[in-house]
Amino acid sequence: MTIGVLLQKKFNFQLTPIVKLITYCFMPAAVFLNIYQAEFDYGLLGQLLLYLFLFTCSTILLGNFLSKLLNLKRQESAALKNSISLMNSGNYGLPVSQLIFSANPLGVSIQIIMIVFQNLLTYTYGLYNLVSASKSAVDILKAIFRLPIVHALLFGIIFQFFDIPLPNFALVPLEQLANAFFALALFLLGAQLAHINIKSFHSVIVWSILGRLVVGPVFAFLIIFILGIDGVMAQSLLIASSFPTSRNTATIALDNQVAPELHAQIVLYSTVLSGITVTIVIYVAMILF
């Protein structure tokens, strides 16, 4: 990420083609390959889906409660709600999970399910918060089904479930693309942060950071404890709950001109501070589970 910031300051890359390259090439390869190679315990899938439902509801309720408590304006309220419930599971979370669970594909596979779920949440709940009056349900569904990672996930599940072998001429390039994703994703994140200008500091940023980086992992731990989840699955879910605010919140806010600077600053601060908080959560997760 630091290399991304420094090189972006020096060379001022056009980031849109890199974003499209990651979205349409590198990330789908990583998603497909990790699902294809994972050893799933399908009995845990129902438990995982229940966790996702409870965790998402708790973060959404927290965002709505804080918005009403602070008596925020509509645009500020949308920024706070999205920043707490939408996490950077893609170009932040997946490389982190790959690093931690390199010897255990299940941990990475759980993170991939989180990525797909978070993307669905972004283009439904997140988009609704920003432009509920101007986007129809059909438009939102079209946006979801255009996501390449959704197609990659479906193909990965099909190939994994029916145990379809991949020949080396397909497997080797996919592995190379998947390996390239992790470095390029973090580089891109740093390059995107280099563009954010800090002109003022809004109190919403503080509440967003507390909700995303502190309260989020606390909610996750309580739900994991209540559901009796243990082992690698518990580690992966707790760590995934600690990731910073999704960069997509700033992207869709800019596209729809809903407090784009506030969204961008929340992404910047939460990403920088997550270097501390995510490290602590990883350490705690490894001790507890």
By the 8 A CB rule, do 189 and 247 touch? yes
Q: Which residues fall within 8 angstroms of residue 276, CB to CB, at 6 or more apart?
A: none
Q: What is the mean pLDDT of residues 49-57?
A: 94
pLDDT of residue 56: 95
Share of the chain above pLDDT 90, in %: 39
Confidence band (pLDDT; 50, 70, 90) for 237? very high
Residue 243 pLDDT greater than 90, yes or no: yes
Q: pLDDT band for 42, please (50, 70, 90 cuts).
A: low
Decide if 239 contacts 96 (C-beta within 8 A). Answer: yes
User: pLDDT at position 35, please?
Assistant: 79
Residue 252 clears pLDDT 60, i.e. is over it = yes
First to last CA, the chain: 29
pLDDT tier at 94 (50, 70, 90 boundaries)? confident
pLDDT class for 122, splitting at 50, 70, 90?
confident
pLDDT tens-digit profile of 172-210?
Answer: 999 999 888 878 878 887 887 787 766 667 889 999 999
pLDDT of the residue at 200 = 64
Task: Decide if pLDDT at 91 tops 60.
Answer: yes
Reply yes or no on whether the pLDDT at 136 is more than 70: no
Q: How far is it, in rounded angstroms, from Cα 38 to Cα 221?
A: 25
Q: What is the pLDDT of residue 68?
A: 92
Q: Which residues pair with 87 in a beta bridge?
A: 245
pLDDT of residue 198: 66
pLDDT above 70 (res 81):
yes
Mean pLDDT taken over the chain: 86
DSSP 57-80: HHHHHHHHHHHHHTT--HHHHHHH
Q: Is the pLDDT of residue 285 over 70?
A: yes
pLDDT given at position 160: 84
Higher pLDDT, 205 or 39: 205
Other CB atoms within 10 Å distance of the CB of residue 19: 16
Q: How confident is the model at residue 133 (pLDDT cuts 50, 70, 90)?
A: very low
Identify the structural domains of the chain with CATH numbers, from first to last: 2-288 (1.20.1530.20)
